[in-house]
Structure 1
Amino acid sequence: MHISRLCRILSTLILVSPLPPALALEPSTIPAITPPPALPPAMAPAPAPPVMPAPRSPALPPATAPGPTVPGPATGRVPGLLAPAAPGPTMPTPTTPPSQVLTIEELQRLGLRANGLVQAANFQIKAAEAGVVGASAYPNPQLTFMAGPQHARVVPQALPANSHRQFTISQTIENPFLRSARIDSAEAGVDASHAGLEQVRADLAAQLRVAAYELILRQEVARVEASVSDLMEEIRRRVRMRVDVGEAPRFELIRAETEVLAAASRKEAAQLNAQRARIALIQLTAGALQPDFQVTGSLTESVNLPPLEELRETVPAVNPEVTRLEAEWKRARRRIDQERAAVLPSLTVLLSNFQEAQYTSNLAGVNVTIPLFYRRRGEINAAVADSERARGILEFRRFEIGQLLESAWQAKQIAQRRVDMFEGGLVKEAENALEIAQAAYRFGERGLIEVLDTQRVLRGVLSDLLQARFDLQAAVTEIDRLRAYYPKEDLE
C-alpha cells in the first residue's frame, strides 16, 4: 500500500513540474515504479493509448517524435506494403520448460530431502544401529586342532612311530552386567543419532526459510530500485532540456546526473544481492532447484506462535540439541557401568580331546582372569570424567537455548513494533512530506533538489519497512528452529 502510494506520487512528480513551451507538446513517457508483488498497487486502470492514423509513407520526418505503433488488420493487405507471401509449412517451435514455482514449505521439504548433511545424518543412524547389533552379539566359539608325528627317543625299535591329534573347543561366557551395559550404551548412541538428525533438519529448515525470505526481500528491493533508476533517467532528460533552454541552472543538471549514477549503483547492487540470495538457496538444496525457480511468499505473512510461557516450558523438552546431549550423557553413564562391570571376570569354558595310538583323553576346564593387580581404575575414572563433561555441556546448552528463546522473542517484539511504527505513522509522514515538497515545487517555492531529497527519505523509510518485516520473519523462524517446528511430512 505504501509503495503503491510512492509510485503514484513519483509518477505525478514530473507531470506537475513546470516545463518550457518547447516541451509542452512532448508526449509523457515517465516510467512508474513497479511495486513488489506482496504489496499490490491500488491504482486506477491507465487509459488506453491513443490510436494514431497510419502514416502515408514508412519514413518519419526528422523533427517528429515517434508515436505509438498502430497494429495492422488481422487479415488482408496492409496499405503501402506488398501482399504477404503464401504461408509455408509450419515448423514446430521448441517449448521452454516452465519455471519451478515453490512455496516456502515445499522449498523446505525439497531441501531436507536433497541436502547432503541430512543424508549423512541418516547414515549416522544406520551406523549406530549397526553398533547395537554388534553390542548384542554373543562371542563366537573357538576351535583349535593340532596333529603331528610321535617318535620314541630311547628305544625306537620297541616303540614304533605313530601320530597323535588334539581338538580343543573354547566358549566365552560373558559377564551379564557387562553385556547389558554395553547394549544400553549402544542404544543411547542410536538415540543421540536420531536427535542429531532432528537437529540437522531443524537447522537446515530454518536456513532455507530465512534464505527464502531474504530472496523475496532482495527481489522487492531490486524492483523498487530499478523503477527509481528509470525515473531518475527521465528526470535527468527533462532537466537537461530545461537547462538547454535556459529555464534552470546547470547545477540542477549536475545534481540530477549524480542522482542517476547513485540510482544505477543501487539498482546494480540490489540485483546482485538478489542473485546472491538465489545462489544461497540453490546451495542449501544441493542443486535440486532450477536456475530460474520462483518462490511464492510474502514478507507480510501472518505470525502464529504460542505464548512465551508455553514456549519456555516446551522448548527445553523438544529442542533436538538438548535431546541429543541428553542421549550423549546417558551413553557416558552407561560407559561407566560398562567399565565397572568389566572388572568382574568372564568365564571361558574349554573342552579338549587328545588321541594317540594307545590312549584317548577328554579334558574339560575353565579359564578365568582374576583382577588381582589392576581393577580398571584408569578406564573407570576416564568414563566418569567424560560423563561429567557431557552433563556440563548439557546444562550449559539447556540454559543457553533458554536465553536464545528469550532473545528471539525480544527480537520478534522489536521487529513487530518497528513494523507497526512504519505502517502506522512514519511512512504516512514521509508521503505527506513528499506531497508538500511536490506542491512547493509546483508553485516555484522549492527547487528540484528538495523534492529529490524528500523522495530519498521516503524510499529509505520504505526500505526500512521491508527490512523490519524481514527481521520479524527471521525472529519467528529462529523460534521455530528452537522448538523444531518445520514441515515433517514425507521425510521418512
Structure 2
Amino acid sequence: MDSIMQRIRYKTFQLTCLLLSLFALPVYAQALTLPEALILAEQHSPALRVASGQQHSSVAALDTARAFPNPEIEYGSGRSHLMPTTPQPGRNRLLAFSQPLELPSVRGARQRAAEAGIVSGSALLDDARLNVYAQVKQAFLDIQRRESESQLAEESRALLGQIHSRVKLRVEVGEASRYELIKATAEMLAAENVAQSAEIKVTQAKDRLRALLGTPLGDTFDITPAPLLPEDLPAIASLREELLTHQPLLKAAVAETQRATAKLEQERSLRIPQPTLKWSAEQHPDVNLWRIGVALPLPLWDRRAGPIGEAQANLERAEAEQERIRFNVLNELDQAYGRYQIAQRQLYIFETGLMQGAETALKVAEAAYRYGERGILDYLDAQRVVRSTRMDYLNARYELQFALVDIERLRGTLLAGEHP
C-alpha cells in the first residue's frame, strides 16, 4: 500500500513539474513577429524595469516634497517639593506642542525640484524604451539579413555543386583538364564553408534577440520578416529640429538642470531662519501656567555656505552635462545620417548597373565556357563576382535599415510608431 502511494505521489510530482514548465516558457505556435517581440521586451527587459523603478521613485519624491513637517507634542509629569512657606507638595504636569513652519520660498523650491525629477524620470524611461525598441528592431533585422545571407550561400553551394559535377564528368571523358576539377572542387568546398558559417550567424543573431527580450524563447524559433522602413527622410536640418524637440535624453538633461536650479534656490532660502511655533501648559499645586511663542535659530556659525556651494557646483555640472548630451546626440544624428547617405548611394549604384553588369558578365562567361571558348577559371570568377555583388547589395540594404532605426531613435519617433 505504501509503495502504491509513493508511486502516486511521484506521478503527481512529475505532472506538476510538467505543467509548471509549460506555463513558465512562452510557446509560439507561429513565427515571432516584430510587434510580439516589442511586447516581450516591454514586459521582460531588465533595462526597462530599472528605468521604471527610477520613475516611480521620482513620483514618490514629489509626495515627500509636498508633505508638511510633523508637529511635536510633549507631556511630562512629576512631584513638586515646595518650600515650607507654601501650602503642601503635589504633582506637576506639562503639556507642550510645537509646529515647525516652512517659508513659502523653501517649500516652493523643494516642490519644483521634485517636479523636475518626475520629468527627468519619465524622460529617462522613454529613453530606455527607445533604446530597447531600437535594439530589438535592429536584432530582428539582423536575423532577416543573416537568413537572407544563408539563403544566398545555400544557393551558391548548390550551384557550385552542380558545376563541380559537370566538370568532373568532363574530366572523366577527357574534355577538360584535371586542373579544372581541382579548381571546381576548391570553389565548392569554399561555398560549403560559407554556407555553414552563414547558418551559425543566423543562430547567433537569434541568441542576441533572445538576450535583448529578457525571456526564454526556446532553443529554436522562427521570425516573420518585418517590412523594411521607407527610405525617404527629411533634410538633416529638419531632423535636427525634431531631435532637439523630442529627444528624451535631452529632455532629461534639461529637467536635471531645472532640478539643480531649484535645489540652489532651496539652499539659499534656508539661510533665512525657519520659525517654530510653540505652545505649552503647566499645572503646579499652587499655580497653572500657559505659554505661546516662536523659536528662531540664529545663523551665527553656519551660514550654509557649504550646501549653497555644493548646489551651485551641481547646477554648473548639470548645465555642462546638458550641453554635452546635446552635442553628443546631434553628432550621433550626423553619423547615422552619413551612414544612411552612404548606404543609399551604394544601393543606387547596385540597382542602376552593378548588379545587372555582374549578371551579364556571368551569362557571357557561362556561354563561353559551354562552347569551349573560355576555361573554367573565367566562369568561376564570374560566379564569384555575382555572389560577392549580391552579398554586398544585401549588406548595403540592411545597413540602410540600421541607419534608419538609429535615426528613428534619435528623432524620438520610434515611441509614437512602435509603442506596444
Residue number in structure 2 paired with 1:133:
63
**1:415 Cα deviation from its structure 2 partner:** 0.9
Any idea what the Cα deviations from partners look like across 1:213-250, whole Å, max 9, x if unmatched?
A: 11111000001111222333333334334434444333
Cα RMSD (Å): 2.3
1:343 aligns with 2:271: yes
**1:418 Cα deviation from its structure 2 partner:** 0.5
Any idea what the Cα deviations from partners look like across 1:100-158, whole Å, max 9, x if unmatched?
A: 341x4553344234322223222222111110011010111111112223446x869x9
Residue number in structure 2 paired with 1:124:
54
Residue number in structure 1 paired with 2:239:
311
* Percentage of identical aligned residues: 33
- Structure with greater helix share of residues: 2
**Please, which of 372, 383, 386 is the counterpart of residue 455 of structure 1?**
383
> Are the aligned partners of 1:148 and 1:164 in contact in 2 as well (CA < 8 Å)?
yes
Relative distance call for 1:357 and 1:490 in structure 2 (3 A) is: farther
> Are the aligned partners of 1:112 and 1:491 in contact in 2 as well (CA < 8 Å)?
no
Distance across 2 between alignment mates of 1:190 and 1:297: 35
Q: What SS does structure 2 have at the residue aligned with 1:296?
A: coil
Per mean C-alpha deviation after superposition, the further-off stretch among 442-451 and 317-326 is 442-451
1:204 aligns with 2:135: no
Per mean C-alpha deviation after superposition, the further-off stretch among 204-213 and 336-345 is 204-213
1:189 aligns with 2:117: yes
TM-score (norm 1): 0.75
**Please, which of 189, 199, 223 is the counterpart of residue 294 of structure 1?**
223
Distance across 2 between alignment mates of 1:162 and 1:294: 89
Alignment of 1:384-403 (within 5 A): 384-403=312-331
Q: What SS does structure 1 have at the residue aligned with 2:366?
A: helix
Distance across 2 between alignment mates of 1:440 and 1:450: 9
> Are the aligned partners of 1:189 and 1:331 in contact in 2 as well (CA < 8 Å)?
yes
TM-score (norm 2): 0.87
> Are the aligned partners of 1:209 and 1:477 in contact in 2 as well (CA < 8 Å)?
yes
Per mean C-alpha deviation after superposition, the further-off stretch among 361-370 and 193-202 is 361-370
Q: What SS does structure 1 have at the residue aligned with 2:414?
A: coil
> Are the aligned partners of 2:167 and 2:176 in contact in 1 as well (CA < 8 Å)?
yes
Relative distance call for 1:483 and 1:207 in structure 2 (3 A) is: same
1:266 aligns with 2:197: no
Structure 1 spans left out of the alignment, 5+ residues: 1-95
> Are the aligned partners of 1:100 and 1:289 in contact in 2 as well (CA < 8 Å)?
no
Residue number in structure 1 paired with 2:42:
112
Q: What SS does structure 2 have at the residue aligned with 1:294?
A: coil
Per mean C-alpha deviation after superposition, the further-off stretch among 131-140 and 285-294 is 285-294
Distance across 2 between alignment mates of 1:316 and 1:487: 16
Distance across 1 between alignment mates of 2:279 and 2:29: 76
Structure 2 spans left out of the alignment, 5+ residues: 1-26
**1:461 Cα deviation from its structure 2 partner:** 0.5
Q: What SS does structure 2 have at the residue aligned with 1:178?
A: helix
> Which residue identity lines up with residue 176 of structure 1 in the other structure?
P
Relative distance call for 1:477 and 1:239 in structure 2 (3 A) is: same
Q: What SS does structure 1 have at the residue aligned with 2:68?
A: coil
> Which residue identity lines up with residue 143 of structure 1 in the other structure?
I
Distance across 2 between alignment mates of 1:293 and 1:351: 75
> Which residue identity lines up with residue 113 of structure 2 in the other structure?
S
1:359 aligns with 2:290: no
Relative distance call for 1:193 and 1:487 in structure 2 (3 A) is: closer
1:326 aligns with 2:254: yes
Larger Rg: 1
Residue number in structure 2 paired with 1:142:
72
**Please, which of 213, 221, 224 is the counterpart of residue 285 of structure 1?**
213
Residue number in structure 1 paired with 2:19:
none
Alignment of 1:61-80 (within 5 A): none
Residue number in structure 2 paired with 1:237:
165
> Which residue identity lines up with residue 330 of structure 1 in the other structure?
Q
Distance across 2 between alignment mates of 1:296 and 1:124: 35
Distance across 2 between alignment mates of 1:491 and 1:138: 39
Distance across 2 between alignment mates of 1:113 and 1:490: 15
Distance across 2 between alignment mates of 1:489 and 1:122: 20
Distance across 2 between alignment mates of 1:379 and 1:264: 69
Residue number in structure 2 paired with 1:177:
105
> Are the aligned partners of 2:339 and 2:400 in contact in 1 as well (CA < 8 Å)?
yes
**1:288 Cα deviation from its structure 2 partner:** 6.6
**1:161 Cα deviation from its structure 2 partner:** 4.9
**Please, which of 89, 100, 106 is the counterpart of residue 31 of structure 2?**
100
Residue number in structure 2 paired with 1:428:
356
> Are the aligned partners of 2:96 and 2:281 in contact in 1 as well (CA < 8 Å)?
yes
> Are the aligned partners of 1:438 and 1:451 in contact in 2 as well (CA < 8 Å)?
yes
> Which residue identity lines up with residue 433 of structure 1 in the other structure?
A
> Are the aligned partners of 1:109 and 1:487 in contact in 2 as well (CA < 8 Å)?
no
Q: What SS does structure 1 have at the residue aligned with 2:215?
A: coil
Distance across 2 between alignment mates of 1:365 and 1:302: 73
Residue number in structure 2 paired with 1:38:
none
Any idea what the Cα deviations from partners look like across 1:238-282, whole Å, max 9, x if unmatched?
A: 433443444433322322222222112111111111111112112
Residue number in structure 1 paired with 2:9:
none
